[in-house]
């Protein structure tokens, strides 16, 4: 899709995923609008080429932004990075309310397509690996908001014809990321300290490099609006244990790896690995970076090696 001068609104545009996607959108010539209340993001991530609104997506003022800007495409990335925010009813309610406010304004002001950042962990502790999009969802409490909003988006599609794409990302990583186990491991090992790992470190994750995710975020704009079930996993398709990740980082930093192991926390993913064959078959996307390549690239860009 030719994005030159297309008006695109990005919620959560100062976050890791949003800010990296905006760089690519601006480079493609898009006219980008950011909505972010900076509650869990950094003002330094705001792209100077975009118009910025410091507004919570729950706020009724969001309506005035849509009315003024009239975006053609909306990326809904806004989500608190702390899973604990969504472990109680108030957090879930807040996330749903904000998402509904975005969708209602999309419908009212003629947005042509919504791309929603969901999560690969909505499958919970799945039975089949790599997990396909056809696997039943079984979300942990912190993913309930994602599933509810997926259903609401489908409803808006059926009722109002709002075109959408739902992307279920696995564990994203890359330069500039501050949250998550990988970032904690890097910061701690860089100071020659050791981390505490909950459980035995054998739980697995599926790491996908941010540049690969950004390519997917733009590529889905090519999808025909009549495509049925536009829900795609975006992943590496490979399992990596927390132990393997920790020792890989230690090796690259030339540090000793002796983590401490604590009692496993409740509601933890045991295995996590998604099948990306659907988006590969439909749009030709597949990850370019292996975990080793991505880690090296991140550590170099962040000045650790």
* Catalytic residue IDs: 142
Dihedral over alpha carbons 101, 105, 107, 108 (to 10 degrees): 130
Would you state the structure tokens that stand for residue 269, as one six-digit string? 């993913």
Contacts of 105 (CB under 8 A, 6+ apart): 62, 63, 66, 111
Cα→Cα distances 204→31, 106, 170, 269, 296, Å: 39, 37, 11, 8, 20
What would the two tokens of residue 117 be?
């950042």
Quick one: DSSP state of residue 31?
E
Q: Structure tokens of 171?
A: 């564990």
Whole-angstrom distance, CA of residue 192 vs CA of residue 176: 21
Strand 207-209, strand 171-173: pairing: parallel
């Amino acid at each position: 899709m030719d994005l030159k001068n297309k008006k695109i609104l990005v919620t959560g545009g100062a976050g890791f995923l949003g800010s990296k996607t905006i760089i690519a959108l601006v480079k493609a010539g898009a006219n980008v609008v950011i909505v972010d209340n900076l509650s869990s993001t950094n003002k330094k991530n705001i792209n100077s080429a975009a118009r910025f609104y410091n507004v919570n997506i729950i706020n009724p003022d969001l309506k005035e932004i849509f009315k003024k800007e009239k975006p053609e495409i909306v990326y809904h990335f806004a989500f608190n990075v702390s899973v604990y925010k969504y472990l109680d009813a108030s957090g879930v309610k807040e996330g749903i309310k904000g998402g509904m406010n975005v969708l209602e304004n999309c419908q009212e002001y003629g947005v042509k397509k919504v791309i929603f950042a969901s999560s690969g962990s909505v499958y919970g502790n799945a039975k089949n690996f790599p997990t396909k999009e056809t696997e039943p969802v079984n979300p942990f409490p912190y993913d309930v908001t994602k599933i509810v909003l997926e259903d609401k988006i489908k409803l808006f599609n059926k009722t109002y014809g709002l075109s959408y794409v739902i992307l279920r990302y696995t564990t994203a990583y890359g330069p500039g990321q501050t949250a998550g186990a990988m970032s904690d491991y890097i910061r701690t090992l860089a100071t020659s300290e050791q981390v505490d790992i909950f459980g035995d470190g054998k739980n697995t994750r599926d790491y996908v490099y941010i540049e690969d995710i950004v390519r997917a975020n733009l590529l889905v704009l090519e999808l025909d609006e009549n495509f049925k079930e536009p829900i795609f996993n975006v992943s590496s398709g490979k399992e990596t244990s927390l132990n393997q990740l920790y020792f890989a980082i230690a090796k690259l930093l030339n540090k000793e790896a002796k983590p401490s192991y604590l009692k496993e926390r409740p509601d933890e993913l045991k295995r996590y690995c998604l099948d990306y064959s659907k988006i590969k078959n439909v749009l030709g996307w597949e990850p370019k970076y292996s975990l080793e390549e991505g880690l090296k690239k991140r550590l170099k860009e962040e000045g650790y090696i």
